Structure 1
Amino acid sequence: MKIKKIASILVAAAMTFGLVACGGNSTGGTDDNTTTNTGSNKITIWAWDESFNIVAANKAKEIYLKDNPDAEVEVVTMAQDDIVAKLNTSLSSGSYEGLPNIVLIEDYKIQGYLTAYQDEFADLSSVANPDDFAEYKTGVNYIDGKLYGIPFDSGVAATFYRTDLIEQAGYTQEDMQDLTWEKYIEIGKAVKEKTGVDMCTLDPSDLGQIRMMLQSAGAWYTDADGKVSIADNKALKDAIKVYKDLSESGAVKQVADWDQFVGAFNNGEVASVVTGCWIAPSIKKAEDQSGKWAVASFPKMSANSDSVNASSIGGGGWYVLKNVGNTDMAVDFLGKTFASNVDLMNDLADSITLVSTLNKAAEASNYSKANDFFSGQEVFADLAKWTSEVPSVNYGLHTYAIEDIMTEAIQAVLGGADIDSTLQTFQTQIESAVAQ
């Protein structure tokens, strides 16, 4: 596929995370914020989300400047869609004016960039080893023995649940451990019957639940070679069946946007939230619910022998654009911060509730602290453990473009259409769409 064709697909695929976003698609940053680094001691970093990624970048900056006082590090807030658009436009034309030295890129998008523009990214193998991080994170940026990105936040999925509502339904915290989706739905029906509260939310326009189920089985919408895999994808069929059962359980609250999603659990309208670990700060906003929550691992699909109680959704990594300039300094910055600094990860665990994918972060003191909001549980330790168990998959080049089409397929199945024939039809449609 030609570079311009891939670039156009990347632009089309750019979208907000919706209900499954790590910090969403925060706005901020304009053309006026961009800088061309001509000074030998200056680097610029682009990222989105003032309350998460930008905080992390600035704390990394503080650490780096302690040992490099003559360095200048500029951290620029920019909406994720704007980052995607600017990178596509500049890299496809070979124009580097205004580009950053370091940029945060979402895991679902990076393979598209590395396929189209691999020569634009610096090899970071000199400052980090894939073995230093959760395996599933380096699966997206380790190519031909070279590591092109420093993994950052874990999107490890978990089951956040209300202990009081579960107990009122006749179940215990032990019952919530290592769940299957069938058991989860069983408990959800009991919760609805005994308390009148739904078990979870679902957004018909968002396939985050499907995506997490797929990864729990080590599968995706594409196969290991990145080719579209819809019609004969057992994990996808199993996930759709679970999704349909969940939708028809009578214990699901339908939502349409992020505010409704967060409002549902903050207002006590649902008994659980099954999504990425980044949702924890939003759950904790309901201070009156402190001590009434706990966290269990992600449910597995019992019909699929490859499915495990671990998955992920969201997350990104830090990359160096080697043709912008000051590459050595940019690589050095990442090497001394996000690639190795446990103190930084420990600080970020407390300040932004970061679950790091750096393996050594699990040894940090904040990872062994009991969390009063979550019933005294050592939440970070559990999330770190589950992060290490997430199956590695090839996200391919077109995750969001495929999901735009698959949403229609899922709705057809929910409406009574046959799964096999529906997926066969959409296999053809999706192959045609991503080949354009």
Structure 2
Amino acid sequence: MKRGLILCLTAVLLLVTLQGVFAAGSQEGASGAKKLTVWCWDPNFNGYSMGEAAKVYEAMHPEVTIEIVDIPDNIEGKIEAGLQAGGAGLPDIALFQDFIIEKFIQNYAGSFVDLKAEGIDFNQFAQYKVAPMTDQGKIYGIPFDTGSTGLFLRTDMLKAAGLNPEDYRKGMTWSEVIKLGETVKAKTGKALIAYDNTVFDFLRIMVQSTGTQFFNKDGSVNYNTPATRKSIAYLKEMNDKGILYMSEGWNNWIAAFNNDESVGLMNALWIIGTLKSKPENAGKWMVAPTPLVEGVKGAQNASNNGGSSWYVFKSSKNKDLAVDFLKSTWAGTSPEALGFYNDILKGAGAMGTFLPSRKGSNYTANDEFFYKDQAVYKEFSSWMEKVPTLYYTANYTSMRTALNNAMQLMFSGSITSVDDVIKAAEAEYKQISGN
């Protein structure tokens, strides 16, 4: 009797509890409350920029909350684990580095939403950003930031060498840069360019400026191109002549140009924040276009280093909302959307690759930190349009590791010719990739 009563009461309580859960769910649905989750890294750059876009969308859609989750370590590994689990645990939107996304598109076909099919006009973006996210006519990402590059030079050191800085704000060839480096070295004893020999960035910037690829159309590696050979030869000549200040690792590289060990550096506009961390150098820096690799068809005074883009997972239960959010902000032309692009340029030094955004006041403003108040962002945005496309493929990481290791052997004197560099890179690439 008591057992029957207890079971009856338990059933009633369970029914009441479930009714409460369903009621709460109905209220949430009735209120229209919705939530999107975004994964990225670097809260002061990527997270800040996405947060500004979220503010714009949430103001238009008060029922929507956009949560930005910082994944500081191994975001690609966490995403790969989720994809292997059929999308379990993944967010609605994630940020991918441009050089890695081709691997994911190829290895996890059908895992991302085709944003071209959703009506986004990709002609409005810098085209070198669109190419790596495109596969068989489908376009899977929303381009974010540019890594538009330039040659940064200290004008006070140029003057100390008896030179007029204005003569070097033009688009130079690498031969002209080498001649400049020889003059500066002879007059001041300083190397012209800080070089971090632990990373591939410098050589990649040179080769991409020509539009040359590191892979053939069939996916096989190709180190033996005129652009790669010329770029390696330039770097060997600069090192042999003491024009490069050789450093190892990020911190030592920064110390080289921020502590007056070198006259300049070559990298993307995102390094400007690091330059400004030394306010005593205000008025001393200027930036010139990326130097030209001579004699290679298609070469430009423009290149890229770095950059990421946003992707929506097909496994998202909110993928329609996620697409609308990206379409309305990162690909939107409303005053609010264009305004947030202008804001993140000033707030984080994040220059988007959405071409209509370049009308913002921060894109065209003079910058007092630079020599003669140079409008550096205006110049970087104009160079951005000229950046040739680089295709990465799924084996890009193996390719760059092998080639950079071969370059280190050259700088150390273990090998002495361009042919030796290429042979060493080919051998290591075959070993680590199996191709």
TM-score by length of structure 2 reads 0.87
Which of 95, 107, 111 is equivalent to 1:104? 95
The SS at the match of 1:308 is: coil
Q: Tell me the residue number matched to 1:183.
A: 176
Q: Tell me the residue number matched to 2:203.
A: 210
- Deviation of 1:354 (Å): 1.4
Deviation per CA, 1:318-377, whole angstroms, max 9, x where unpaired? 000111220001111111111222111101111011121111122111111101111211
Which of 384, 388, 393 is equivalent to 2:385? 388
The SS at the match of 1:423 is: helix
Cα 1:422–1:268 change in 2 (3 A) is closer
The SS at the match of 1:373 is: coil
1:122–1:148 CA contact under 8 A, matched in 2 = yes
Is the aligned partner of 1:264 residue 2:256? yes
Is the aligned partner of 1:400 residue 2:397? yes
The SS at the match of 2:74 is: helix
1:212–1:312 CA contact under 8 A, matched in 2 = yes
1:156–1:386 CA contact under 8 A, matched in 2 = yes
Q: Tell me the residue number matched to 1:11.
A: none
Task: Report the residue type matching 1:418 in the other structure.
Answer: S
Q: Over aligned residues, Cα RMSD in angstroms? A: 1.9
Q: Tell me the residue number matched to 1:310.
A: 302
The SS at the match of 2:152 is: strand
For 1:253 and 1:421, how far apart are their aligned partners in 2?
A: 23
Task: Report the residue type matching 1:329 in the other structure.
Answer: L
- Deviation of 1:221 (Å): 2.0
Matches within 5 A, 1:420-431: 420-424=419-423, 426-431=425-430
2:92–2:316 CA contact under 8 A, matched in 1 = yes
Q: Tell me the residue number matched to 1:374.
A: 370
For 2:380 and 2:155, how far apart are their aligned partners in 1?
A: 18
For 1:393 and 1:252, how far apart are their aligned partners in 2?
A: 26
Select between 281-290 and 186-195 the one with higher mean Cα deviation: 186-195
Matches within 5 A, 1:298-377: 298-340=290-332, 341-375=337-371, 376-377=373-374
1:362–1:384 CA contact under 8 A, matched in 2 = yes
- Deviation of 1:118 (Å): 2.9
For 2:36 and 2:119, how far apart are their aligned partners in 1?
A: 17
For 1:396 and 1:243, how far apart are their aligned partners in 2?
A: 25
1:218–1:393 CA contact under 8 A, matched in 2 = yes
Q: Tell me the residue number matched to 1:240.
A: 232
Is the aligned partner of 1:254 residue 2:254? no
2:147–2:307 CA contact under 8 A, matched in 1 = yes
Cα 1:356–1:179 change in 2 (3 A) is same
Q: Tell me the residue number matched to 1:118.
A: 109
- Deviation of 1:239 (Å): 1.1
Is the aligned partner of 1:419 residue 2:412? no
For 2:434 and 2:122, how far apart are their aligned partners in 1?
A: 32
The SS at the match of 1:99 is: coil
Deviation per CA, 1:218-260, whole angstroms, max 9, x where unpaired? 1232134432112x32211111111111211213222112221
For 1:119 and 1:294, how far apart are their aligned partners in 2?
A: 46
The SS at the match of 2:109 is: helix
1:225–1:394 CA contact under 8 A, matched in 2 = no
2:405–2:425 CA contact under 8 A, matched in 1 = no
1:108–1:399 CA contact under 8 A, matched in 2 = yes
- Deviation of 1:425 (Å): 5.2
Q: Tell me the residue number matched to 1:23.
A: none
The SS at the match of 1:123 is: coil
The SS at the match of 1:306 is: coil
2:198–2:249 CA contact under 8 A, matched in 1 = no
For 2:420 and 2:251, how far apart are their aligned partners in 1?
A: 36
- Deviation of 1:150 (Å): 0.5
- Deviation of 1:429 (Å): 4.0
Deviation per CA, 1:381-402, whole angstroms, max 9, x where unpaired? 1101100000012111122222
For 1:369 and 1:425, how far apart are their aligned partners in 2?
A: 47
Gaps of 5+ in 2: 1-28
- Deviation of 1:433 (Å): 3.0
1:129–1:147 CA contact under 8 A, matched in 2 = no
Is the aligned partner of 1:276 residue 2:268? yes
2:245–2:262 CA contact under 8 A, matched in 1 = yes
Task: Report the residue type matching 2:359 in the other structure.
Answer: E
2:215–2:221 CA contact under 8 A, matched in 1 = yes
For 2:65 and 2:433, how far apart are their aligned partners in 1?
A: 42
Q: Tell me the residue number matched to 2:21.
A: none
Q: Tell me the residue number matched to 2:23.
A: none
The SS at the match of 2:106 is: helix
For 1:56 and 1:127, how far apart are their aligned partners in 2?
A: 23
Deviation per CA, 1:3-60, whole angstroms, max 9, x where unpaired? xxxxxxxxxxxxxxxxxxxxxxxxxxxxxxxxxxx99711100110121001011111
The SS at the match of 1:64 is: helix
Q: Tell me the residue number matched to 1:21.
A: none
1:213–1:239 CA contact under 8 A, matched in 2 = yes
Select between 242-251 and 102-111 the one with higher mean Cα deviation: 242-251
Percentage of pairs with the same residue:
31
**Structure showing greater Rg:** 2
Matches within 5 A, 1:34-183: 41-79=34-72, 81-94=73-86, 96-125=87-116, 126-172=118-164, 173-183=166-176
Deviation per CA, 1:154-180, whole angstroms, max 9, x where unpaired? 001111111121222233323341111
For 1:360 and 1:49, how far apart are their aligned partners in 2?
A: 26
For 1:424 and 1:392, how far apart are their aligned partners in 2?
A: 26
For 2:217 and 2:362, how far apart are their aligned partners in 1?
A: 36
For 2:265 and 2:357, how far apart are their aligned partners in 1?
A: 25
Task: Report the residue type matching 2:399 in the other structure.
Answer: I
TM-score by length of structure 1 reads 0.86
Total equivalences in the alignment? 396
For 1:281 and 1:429, how far apart are their aligned partners in 2?
A: 36
Task: Report the residue type matching 1:255 in the other structure.
Answer: S
For 2:167 and 2:330, how far apart are their aligned partners in 1?
A: 36
